[in-house]
Amino acid sequence: MKTIVILGAGTAGTAIANKLRRRLPKDWDVAIVDPSGTHLYQPGLLFLPFGNETEERILRERGSTLGKGITWHQKTVKAIDTNRRLVELEKGDELSYDFLIIASGTEVRPEMIDGMLGEGWRKNVFDFYTLDGAKALREGLANFEGGRLVINIVEMPIKCPVAPLEFAFLTDDYLTKRGIRDKTELVYATPLDGAFTKPLASKTLGYLLEDKGIQVETEFMTGEVDSEKNVIRSYDEREVPYDLLVTIPPHMGAGFLEDSDLGDELAFVPTDPHTLAAKNVERVFCIGDATDLPSSKAGSVAHFQADLMAENILGAIDGKELEPSFDGHSNCFVETGHGKAMLIDFNYETEPLPGQFPIPGIGPLPLLKECRRNHWAKLMFRHVYWHALLPARPIPISPTMSLAGKQLSAAAELGGA
């Protein structure tokens, strides 16, 4: 019996496990390791704080998401020994592998910032990247009666890099509906040099911040949360006061990758950007949020990577060279509030461009432009996730990006995509 071991049963791990199980012969065992008994549909965490999503709809029993014939070890990973091709689990258990796929994602680490877990934590300081955080924030928002609401990205990289901006737009919508928007200053504090950092997006989408009256504090790297004074303080001693703080804490890779040969300084795995093989080590691949790649840490990326990685692993089993097929493709809906959303489609080389998706010239979904159809498509996506993406059934979107239907001239005017 030969074994593929997959570490982590999130979006990436589950999709690749289901895909490989279907494609591999019976003499291959597909084993997946994840200590948690439930699978969380993470995009739902954006809507839950506003009361527009429920726990029942975004949680499933882990077992129901893993196809027949996959062996699930409900255990914590302690370490990887790449010399002996072994994964060490809790209580001294070991799993040996012929190929290993690291799909252990990323997690928020609020304890890395001084004072973040202080007096105000989950009273007027919240995160929404965890289920507990999003639920606490739902209460926090419901009790909010106006003042300064600050959304702060502490540092990059983070999961779903547009989610904080979407959160700001949805907050504007939510407060407007509650009739307290005019009593609220909405502030977006980012370590980057703008809420939008790419030329075309800055030019075409800057109006969103202006129209919604969202103040932007740029190049703000939070060094401290001061719960006594209710301010966040940057390394260059600037202070941003808040009544309610929505923080996106620093992100790190899985604990077993920290201080290991496989993880970098943030415990992400140095990975070949095109073949998805882990660098400097044999028979190890990395997928989804766990990589150090410049592609977005997003579900669509995990899905496209799973399609291409499955082919590469099947090839590797047959002794073939790895194909450098992954191009950094990402495809994301961006909620802009008031029942509208945008769609963006991009890769390593090409920034999000205007156009039509998926059928060039027809759509029906416009790119880089707000509309109601995109919002409904985003809401419908939850069904696609449970019924097609996780079970790895075909979805008619190419895993590599296409330029067809995109207006390259828009980027050329600004000096290149």
Partner 1 sequence: MSLEALQTDAEGYLANRDDWSEELAQELASQMGIQLGDEHWKVLKTARTIEGESGSSPGLRKISKRSETPIKSIYKLFPDGPAKLIAKIAGIPKPKSCL
Which one of 121, 128, 346, 357 is in contact with partner 1 (CB under 8 A)? 346
Tokens 């071991």 found at: 5
Residues in the chain, total? 417
Instruction: Tell me which stretch binds partner 1 (CB under 8 A): 16-24, 56-64, 263-271, 319-327.
Output: 263-271
Minimum distance, C-beta of residue 182 to partner 1, in the bound complex (Å): 28
State yes or no: residue 330 binds partner 1 (CB under 8 A).
Answer: yes
DSSP helix/strand/coil, 106 = strand
Instruction: Tell me which stretch binds partner 1 (CB under 8 A): 24-32, 120-128, 189-197, 282-290.
Output: 189-197
Which one of 25, 92, 179, 294 is in contact with partner 1 (CB under 8 A)? 294
Kindly tell me the number of DSSP H helices and DSSP E strands found in the chain.
9, 24
**Mutual angle of helices 11-23 and 299-317, in 10-degree steps:** 30
State yes or no: residue 269 binds partner 1 (CB under 8 A).
Answer: no
Minimum distance, C-beta of residue 380 to partner 1, in the bound complex (Å): 22
State yes or no: residue 309 binds partner 1 (CB under 8 A).
Answer: no
Instruction: Note whether 118 and 225 are within 8 A (CB).
Output: yes
Residue of 231, 202, 262, 32 whose CA lies nearest to 125: 231
Number of amino acids touching partner 1 (CB under 8 A): 39
Q: Cα(first)–Cα(last) distance of the chain, in Å?
A: 48
Q: What angle do CA 210, 211, 215 make, to 5 degrees?
A: 40
Structure tokens at 264: 């970098």
Instruction: Tell me which stretch binds partner 1 (CB under 8 A): 38-46, 97-105, 153-161, 380-388.
Output: 153-161
State yes or no: residue 292 binds partner 1 (CB under 8 A).
Answer: yes
Instruction: Tell me which stretch binds partner 1 (CB under 8 A): 45-53, 70-78, 136-144, 287-295.
Output: 287-295
Q: What angle do CA 35, 37, 39 make, to 5 degrees?
A: 105
In this complex, which beta carbon is closest to partner 1, that of residue 67 or of residue 273?
A: 273
Please, which of residues 212-241 interact with partner 1 by CB under 8 A?
219, 221, 223, 235-236
CA-to-CA distance for 150 and 164, rounded, in angstroms?
11
State yes or no: residue 289 binds partner 1 (CB under 8 A).
Answer: no
Which one of 61, 139, 211, 264 is in contact with partner 1 (CB under 8 A)? 264
> Number of C-alpha atoms within 13 angstroms, CB side, residue 17?
31
Residue of 149, 213, 143 whose CA lies nearest to 184: 149
Tokens 């040996």 found at: 96
State yes or no: residue 253 binds partner 1 (CB under 8 A).
Answer: no
Instruction: Note whether 43 and 331 are within 8 A (CB).
Output: no
In this complex, which beta carbon is closest to partner 1, that of residue 140 or of residue 399?
A: 399
The percent helix, strand, coil of the chain (3-state, each to 5) is 30, 30, 40
Which one of 60, 148, 178, 198 is in contact with partner 1 (CB under 8 A)? 198
Which one of 171, 296, 312, 356 is in contact with partner 1 (CB under 8 A)? 296
Instruction: Note whether 339 and 375 are within 8 A (CB).
Output: yes
State yes or no: residue 273 binds partner 1 (CB under 8 A).
Answer: yes
Instruction: Note whether 352 and 200 are within 8 A (CB).
Output: yes
Minimum distance, C-beta of residue 393 to partner 1, in the bound complex (Å): 27
Please, which of residues 156-185 interact with partner 1 by CB under 8 A?
156-157, 161-162, 165
Give the footprint of partner 1 on this chain (CB under 8 A).
155-157, 161-162, 165, 191-193, 196-199, 201, 205, 219, 221, 223, 235-236, 250, 264-266, 270, 273, 292-294, 296, 330, 332, 334, 344, 346, 348, 352, 414-415
